[in-house]
Chain A
């Protein structure tokens, strides 16, 4: 079974803090993704990576950056957290872009 894990289920941070969200997959998948999910807006793609050290912006990259130093790990960084970044963050991975993505359990981030 594919396993995608995220470092925290719940996180509370203060405005202005630098926040790291970690995602690890154990199936040697090439592609990894970060989404945020908000009520009424569905899932929106923040960034994705199709190879180590490669990254591409999704639909809403502003205020975020990512890092992929190893194939199995994809990190989402909030350089200076703001209250409008309070959300559920979901990581996903897939072997190939046309196959199903496998999702982690999500991190519910609250920025106060």
Chain B
């Protein structure tokens, strides 16, 4: 079965703290893609990153970084020096090769609140 688990339902931090959002996935396929999306209070999901299953290099984009570990089936997302504008719901998602036309399998999301 294909599944994405985001165990943290809500996280609250104070501005400038670092925060890591966990994502654990299950799939039998060897070819798959993982994604992170941000949903701010306005409601629109914003694409953040796509990573394929053959590329385990960590990625950094400004204050955002992603740690992909196939050995633990995890694709964690870290925000360094968090800011109030980072407050949002973050979704991790999976699509696997051979899945029906690229249906994304979403986790339930983690709500991040960054307080000033």
A80-112 near B? 1/0 per residue, CB < 8 Å: 000000001010101011111111111010000
Total number of residue pairs linking A and B with CB closer than 8 Å: 56
- B14-22, B37-45, B64-72, B79-87: which lies at the interface: B37-45
Output the nearest chain A residue to B35 by Cβ-Cβ distance.
A100
B106 touches A31 (CB 8 A): no
Give the complex CA separation of A105 and B35 in angstroms.
19
- Kindly identify which residue among A42, A48, A104 contacts B103, using a CB–CB cutoff of 8 Å: A48
Output the nearest chain B residue to A88 by Cβ-Cβ distance.
B43
B87-106 near A? 1/0 per residue, CB < 8 Å: 00001000101011111101
A50 touches B101 (CB 8 A): yes
Which of B44, B46, B109 lies at the interface centre, i.e. has the most chain A CB atoms within 10 A of its CB?
A: B44
B102 touches A104 (CB 8 A): no
Is A43 interfacial (CB 8 A cutoff)?
yes
B101 touches A105 (CB 8 A): no
- Kindly identify which residue among A94, A97, A104, A106 contacts B99, using a CB–CB cutoff of 8 Å: A97
Is A61 interfacial (CB 8 A cutoff)?
no
13 other A-B residue contacts (CB within 8 Å) besides A98-B102, A101-B104, A105-B44:
A31-B101, A40-B108, A42-B107, A43-B106, A45-B103, A97-B103, A98-B97, A99-B102, A100-B47, A100-B50, A101-B102, A102-B47, A105-B43
